[in-house]
A and B are shown apart, each in its own frame.
Chain A
Amino acid sequence: MKSNRPFQILIIVLILITVAFAAVFFLIEKKKSKVEKPAEVIAAGWLQFKMGEYKQAIKLFQKVLDGVPENSDEQIQALYGLGCTNWLKLPGGDKEKAAELFNEVIKRAPGSDYDAWSMLALVRMLHMVPADQTPDYPKVRDEYQKVYEKFPDKIAGHEAFIYMIGAYLAAFTKEDAVIAKKKLDEFLKAHPDSPFVSSAWGLCSRACETLGDKQGQLDAKLKELEKREIDPANPFMDNANAYWSIAVVAEFEVGDFETARKYYKLMMKEYPMERRNFGAMRALERMDALEAKLKAEN
């Protein structure tokens, strides 16, 4: 009878090789599951989000979520990223899942910036309804108000305030404009250095317009310009619009020709290629002509 020893040795070797492979594989997977540089992975996830690759973004955020210590900053960031991606992904967002994730952030990181952003995101989800529907403005305003009240000193809180005022003014009623104006006055008093102060003044001007307070409208516009932030890396972010807007309000709403002239001329001087410069020239001629006519009549 032939010896089976070589065959037996072969089987044992095969089993050993299989075990070795399994062990190596297991170690590699274990190593992979521990995320070495979560900040980089989170940044990569946001990059995929920006490029519209939502599935990839979710994978990356999930990887961080699974691979970092519980309740760590990175985990909170990953949760927030997952929430935003689930909410805004295409072709259709998963609002329920997103709400779940945002609530998880609120639960795990109370009082943090991400808590504020998550709370704001929940209200934004409520505000952004399909195009053929109108948002439930009263409810939306209340929710924004809650965010603002909870985070009166955070950017997210101020942003919530701005959205809230926008929700009042979008309803286009005088009553809502009165409420908005009152809230704005309080906000501007309490937070004169808010990063959103220029936006607040802009909304104030809008409210005054609805209320027929023309001088208030002009004053608010001037304040808006004064507090305006300019992005130095945006060629379209200039003051031409603001100058023109102030000038026309001054000319046609308030009758303040001095202010109007000042800003028409400022626009022509600072923005020589601005296409409204011809309109500004016409305006100057128009104002001169009117004043001359009225003086002559008198």
Chain B
Amino acid sequence: MEGKKIHWKQVGYHWEMYLFIVPTIILIALFQYYPALSGVFHSFYRWNGADISEFVGFENYLKLLKNSDFWRSFELAFTLGIWNIAKMIPALAVAVCIHRCRGEFMQLTYRILFVIPMVIPGLIIVLIWRSFFFEATAGYLNKFLFSSGLFNVLVWVDHFFNWGGIFKEGNAPAWLGDPNLIVSACILWGFPWVGSFAVLTYLARLQGIPKDIYEAADVDGVTWWSKFTKIELPLITSSIKLLLVFVIIDTIKDAGMILALAGIEGGPGGNATVPALFMLRKAFIDQEMGFACAVGIILTAIVMSLQKMSNILTMWNDMREWQKKTIQGAAFAVSILTFYSGHFRAVGIALLIASIPYSDIVFFFRNLKGNLKIVFEKSEAPSHNQKAPVIVIRDDKLKAMNFITDILLRGLKHFTILFVLAMALMPLYLMVIVSLKDNRQFYFAPATLTKPFHWENWVTAYEMITPSLANSLVISITGTILTLFVALCAAYFFARHKMPMSTFLWNAILVMMMMPAIANLIPLFNLLNDMNLLNTLTCLIIVGTSSGQIFAIFVLRSFVEDIPGDLFEAAEIDGANHFQQMRIIVLPLAGPILGTVGVMNFISQWNDFVMPLIVIRDHGKLPVMVQLLRIAGEYIKLWGPLMAGYALASIPIIILFIFTMKLFTKGLTEGAIKG
């Protein structure tokens, strides 16, 4: 449905449309734009967040440009971003393997099993990795390295590349204590990296491929690898390209997981300080709020530049050759100039990577491969008038080989899925196993079931986290309901008609998508303080609703646009006003998409802990993630109740997702992954 353009003179007939957008405007203006502008304002001040406020002009920015810690944090963010890209491979591989499963029952079973690692809150995974995998003396990672012999390989590699003894014979690597290893820990945590919705997203895309194409490929004897590279990969490539940029942007914006893993100091020597963590530290430890606001502004500028780059990437194929070469050349020149500057090296590396002419290189190697190709095909003698066609003749031996290969590949496919699943379910396994132990049993047999079972740990855990569980439920459910309601109204406003000012408002919302939320954290905190909302659940609900608007409106607008316009016209003819059209037409059809968006929003609010960590003071008002973080900081850890607590905090999400998975997947296919 293409929304009808409404002119100013016609506004009188459609004035109630503006009522749909009012709540969104209020929320976004107050809780997104105001903090952003306040951040810009305060970035020119020496401001301690309380009583010191002194105008210093550009001093904060100049100080920031000279601050080597800040630029080092960007280098780290790029490093982590590049690794995060590589970490997409397991999810992609698993999605392809599940998609290739012939039986629908197997597909469904695998899909359900993969729900669990996807929905366990990231914070819990981090805490488990911190306590169990990375622990130097008895951690599972070191045990695995020693028992598999991989550690000796690492020692040899260390020696060969002269790493300076990071891996040394007899020395258990201290993943979180060694400044040389903390970054590796930040990369490794969460293996096999099938969290978030990557698997489901890829699966949803892959399911859009008609079965006929696969049948035709089978007839043509296309190999499994060719099927992937020629059929599947091109169809999901567009989203991969976008994901690449979003992954780097997320790494720059994210502070939560590093905060949980390495602490606000950024680990030993501050080596795991990412830009957002640098900002948090400046604000809340060094009390340099004005400086932190300047950091936020620079972060925003960099993220927006990267967004722009991503737009260029999406339009790349439509550009002329000279435009492409110009951009690549300019990027290369700038990267050389900045590379040796010291402070801007991270940017230099990024530009260098971006300026490499990949397509030319690929083209070169493809031709090379073609010349060296061993031809199994037998060709007929060419006729005089045409080029000889390549005719595939199936050899019997080849047929047999193909059959064996097929069996092996199927076995490999299931093995891959099961291996990744086993690794992904390891945290859950540990949670359950350890939750039944007391400390003594834990110290002596941390990974195997031991008797007697201490079921009372679950009771202790329940008592420990119930209040915070209730808080999280109230925040997430109320926030989600409000988000969906307000966002759907706003989506209707944008999609139904092109009202005056709607383009302006839409762009205003899009701009918000590009702003890293963490950059506005400090002014937002100040605003909430002025509104007396600190230390209330209301504040978390309202802020959650406001930040959830952006993505929800984006998705729901596409959905409303897809509703046939005839339905609305028919309703108008029958005298229905916009509210009635919304109720009669939009709401009934919006079930799946609301389910998808609602689930994603719920999980996002459930998992959020950076904001509550800062605004909630009272113990009784903490949401569950912050409560778990506090419990994990206890000096004497009662491992059994702690793990039971982690499990209890994950259960609501798992239950929610299992019941809404069908709806969620349907919604994903229909609308959420468009564009």
- Which A residues are within 8 Å of any B CB, using their own CB? 53, 55
Measured in the bound complex, the distance between the Cα atoms of B54 and A55 in whole Å is: 8
Q: List B contacts of A53 (CB < 8 A).
A: 52, 54
Measured between alpha carbons, how far is A55 from B52 in the docked complex, in Å?
11
Residues of chain A within 8 A of B54, CB atoms compared = 53, 55
Closest to A53 in B: B52
* 3 pairs, A vs B, C-beta closer than 8 Å: A53-B52, A53-B54, A55-B54
Count contacts between A and B, CB distance < 8 Å. Answer: 3
Tell me, rounded to whole Å, the shortest Cβ–Cβ distance linking A57 to chain B. 12
Nearest-CB distance from B315 to chain A (Å)?
48
Shortest Cβ distance from B486 into chain A, in angstroms?
41
Contacts of B52 in A (CB 8 A): 53
Bitwise, B24-62 to A at CB < 8 A (1) or not (0) is: 000000000000000000000000000010100000000
Tell me, rounded to whole Å, the shortest Cβ–Cβ distance linking B201 to chain A.
53
- A263 to B49 CA separation, bound complex (whole angstroms): 53
Rounded to whole angstroms, the CA-CA distance of A219 and B485 in the bound complex is 89
User: What is the chain A residue whose CB lies nearest that of B52?
Assistant: A53
Interface residues of B in 52-92 (CB under 8 A from A): 52, 54
Q: What residue in chain A is nearest B59 (Cβ atoms)?
A: A91
Nearest chain A CB to B116's CB is how many angstroms away? 55
Cα distance, A280 to B672, chains bound together (Å): 81
| A53 to B46 alpha-carbon distance, docked (Å) | 11
Cα A55 to Cα B51 in complex, Å, equals 13
Across-interface contacts of A55 in B (CB, < 8 A): 54
Shortest Cβ gap from B290 to chain A (Å): 14
Nearest Cβ on chain A to B53's Cβ, whole angstroms: 10
The A-contacting residues of B in range 468-509, CB under 8 angstroms, are none
User: Quick one: which of B368-403 are within 8 Å of A by CB?
Assistant: none
Chain A residue with the shortest CB-CB distance to B55:
A55
Report the Cα distance A53→B54, complex, angstroms. Answer: 9
CB of B288 to closest CB in A, whole Å: 14
C-beta contact mask, B238-262 vs A, less than 8 Å → 1, else 0? 0000000000000000000000000
What is the minimal beta-carbon distance from B56 to any residue of chain A, in angstroms? 10
State A248–B52 Cα separation when bound (angstroms): 50
Closest to A54 in B: B54
| Distance in angstroms between the alpha carbons of A214 and B573 in the assembled complex | 114
Please report the C-alpha to C-alpha distance between residue A279 and residue B194 in the assembled complex, in whole angstroms: 66
Closest to B54 in A: A55
Residue of B with least CB distance to A52: B52
Closest chain B CB from A238 CB (angstroms): 35
Give the top 3 A-B pairs by smallest Cβ distance, nearest first: A55-B54, A53-B52, A53-B54
A18 to chain B, nearest CB (A): 31
Q: How far is the CA of A53 from the CA of B52 in the complex (A)?
A: 8
What's the Cα separation between A85 and B637 when bound, in Å? 53
Beta-carbon contacts of B102-142 to A below 8 Å, as 1s and 0s? 00000000000000000000000000000000000000000
B322-360 toward A: CB 8 Å interface, digit per residue (1/0)? 000000000000000000000000000000000000000
Binary contact readout B552-586 vs A (1 if CB under 8 angstroms, 0 otherwise)? 00000000000000000000000000000000000
Q: Whole-angstrom distance from the CB of B451 to the nearest CB of chain A?
A: 54
Complexed CA–CA distance, A53 and B406 (Å): 77
**In angstroms, how far is the closest chain B Cβ from the Cβ of A52?**
9
Question: Whose C-beta in chain A lies nearest to the C-beta of B56?
Answer: A91
How far, in angstroms, from A173 to B52 measured CA to CA in the complex?
48
Nearest Cβ in chain A — how far from B291, in angstroms? 15
B61: min CB distance to chain A, Å = 17
Q: Which residue of chain B has its CB nearest to the CB of A55?
A: B54
Report B355 CB to chain A, min CB distance, Å: 42
- Provide the bound-state CA to CA distance between A53 and B51, in Å: 10
Complexed CA–CA distance, A55 and B46 (Å): 12
For the complex formed, measure the closest distance between the CB of B366 and the CB atoms of chain A, giving whole angstroms.
62
How far does the Cβ of B672 sit from chain A's closest Cβ, in whole Å?
52
